[in-house]
Amino acid sequence: WCDGHHLVWWIKGGPTTLSNLALLCRLHHRMVHEEGWTLERREGRFNAIPPPRRVRPSSRSA
């Protein structure tokens, strides 16, 4: 099964049009909404952009 995903999120005013939709499996749809991934369409192709890397605070300074 696939989920319909709004490239510009519906809650942020994104339209429900084919040009603003992508079909994602449930795992990848959750990655966008829960893990900070971004999906965009450029020149007819989809690009998945990972969230910024998190730097773990160190208990000691170098």
- Say what the pLDDT of residue 53 is: 84
Extents of the domains making up the chain:
3-49
> Under DSSP, is residue 50 helix (H, G, I), strand (E, B) or coil?
coil
- Say what the pLDDT of residue 60 is: 63
- Say what the pLDDT of residue 61 is: 59
- Mean pLDDT computed over 6-12: 95
- Measured CA to CA in angstroms, residue 15 lies from 2, 9, 11, 46, 51 at distances of 19, 8, 9, 18, 24
5's enclosing H/E stretch is strand 3-6
Place of tokens 């749809």: 29
24's enclosing H/E stretch is strand 21-24
Residues 23-57 pLDDT 10s: 999 999 999 999 999 999 999 899 999 999 877 77
